[in-house]
Amino acid sequence: MKPSMAVPTLDQLRSGGKRSLAEGLTLAETRAGDSAVVSLLDAACAAPKGDVIGITGPPGVGKSTLTNALIARWRAAGLTVGVIAVDPSSRYTRGALLGDRTRIRTNPEDDGIFVRSMAARDRLGGLSAETVAAMVLMRAVYDRVIVESVGIGQSEADIGFVADCVILCVQPGSGDSLQYMKAGITELPDIFVVTKGDTGKPAMRARADVEGALGLNAPSGRKPAVLVVSSTAAEGFDGLDEAVNDMLTATASQRDHRRSVQEDAWVNDAIRERFGRDGLARMKRGNEGPSRKGPFTRIAQVTQALRPE
Ligand SMILES: Nc1nc2c(ncn2[C@@H]2O[C@H](COP(=O)(O)OP(=O)(O)OP(=O)(O)O)[C@@H](O)[C@H]2O)c(=O)[nH]1
Ligand SMILES: [Mg+2]
């Protein structure tokens, strides 16, 4: 990238196709603190176009295969789709294997689909500030944004900080997700998908187990859907598509609130990462009150204020 690369306006980002979005993502990664970049991110954040679907679950459960299937369906329905594949291995490989690992295939000629792989943060599946920024830019441009992230235990909840709808993939015959549910859940996924439905009995058992655990543990309110899909047999996708649409429709009135909670979490997270718990406490003490400035501006301002001279 040229150091002089101009920061596009939101309109330019939207009308400039893949190339413009790629430049926007690069700027968000390399010049995150620049005031023009901060303004672009907040403008994008304030003008979301699409819905964000988080797909999480253990390694190898079938997240990318599911993502491929959803991309094909949504493109066929005329929706534009952005995908962020968060790769937990890249901190070991320095990104060298990103392309191989995501296993997401798309048509390079199609301007309505954009896929970006990104490194996970320190812990498995943890989302980095770059991932949040990329999601915000893509959400302003595409009708649907998928964030695929490996999740085990705690990191499963991370996806809730960027997604409007969280799909947790369950591996037949593993018991992983049940363990996690038994451990006590604060944030339930919106949809459970048992993958590899073509395995037959183990998949059916996994569904019954999840339903049983939900019956015992779920707080009152909206019950998550529990579905079985098979990517190899191309089964269950009508139901999944419907469940996603139903969830998004049913929660539309809470969308703004959910997103504003997410924004607060990004600010807290960024300040904690840079200045530790102490920094967080200082931010809260010196807080600008109920500032409704965009989250990226808030992060920049607090960073400025806390930075030692
Ligand atoms: N039998 C069967 N195998 C599947 C199905 N979906 C995915 N797989 C296989 O499961 C393996 C992992 O699939 P991926 O989609 O790459 O899984 P993932 O969760 O994205 O994996 P990571 O990103 O590495 O964590 C592949 O070998 C797939 O072919 C399915 O519906 N049935
Ligand atoms: Mg994958």
Which residue's alpha carbon is nearest to atom 8 within ligand 1?
Answer: 62
pLDDT (0 to 100) of residue 294: 93
pLDDT (0 to 100) of residue 97: 43
Whole-number Å distance between alpha carbons of 280 and 257? 22
- Which residue in this structure is represented by tokens 């079938």? 62
Domain map (residue ranges) of the chain: 1-47, 48-250, 258-306
pLDDT (0 to 100) of residue 185: 54
pLDDT (0 to 100) of residue 158: 82
Q: Does the Cβ of 116 fall within 6 Å of ligand 1?
A: no
CB 151 within 8 A of CB 160: no
pLDDT (0 to 100) of residue 123: 52
Which residue's alpha carbon is nearest to atom 12 within ligand 1?
Answer: 60
Of the CATH numbers 3.40.50.300, 3.40.50.1000, 3.30.360.10, 3.20.20.70, which one belongs to the domain with range 48-250? Answer: 3.40.50.300
- Which residue in this structure is represented by tokens 């992983």? 176
Q: Does the Cβ of 195 fall within 6 Å of ligand 1?
A: yes
Q: Does the Cβ of 117 fall within 6 Å of ligand 1?
A: no
Which residue's alpha carbon is nearest to atom 25 within ligand 1?
Answer: 59
Strands (E), the chain: 51-57, 81-87, 113-119, 144-150, 165-170, 191-194, 225-228
Q: Which residues surround ligand 2, an ion (CB under 5 A)?
A: 63-64
CB 8 within 8 A of CB 23: yes
Report the separation in Å between the CA atom of 64 and the middle of ligand 1, taken as the mean of its atom positions: 7
Which residue's alpha carbon is nearest to atom 9 within ligand 1?
Answer: 62
In DSSP terms, which residues pair with 57 in a beta bridge?
Answer: 150
Whole-number Å distance between alpha carbons of 74 and 68? 10
Cα 288 to Cα 40, 43, 269, 274, distances in angstroms: 22, 20, 17, 19
pLDDT (0 to 100) of residue 25: 95
Q: Does the Cβ of 232 fall within 6 Å of ligand 1?
A: yes
Tokens at 106, concatenated: 């798309």
CB 224 within 8 A of CB 258: no
Buried b (16+ CB within 10 A) or exposed e, 133-148: bbbbbbbbbbbbbbbb
pLDDT (0 to 100) of residue 289: 55
Question: From the CA of 124, which ligand is nearest?
Answer: 1
pLDDT (0 to 100) of residue 91: 45
Across the 309 residues of the chain, what is the mean pLDDT of every consecutive 10-residue run? 76 93 93 93 97 92 93 95 82 43 73 89 70 96 95 71 94 74 67 95 92 72 88 92 95 95 91 87 71 87 84
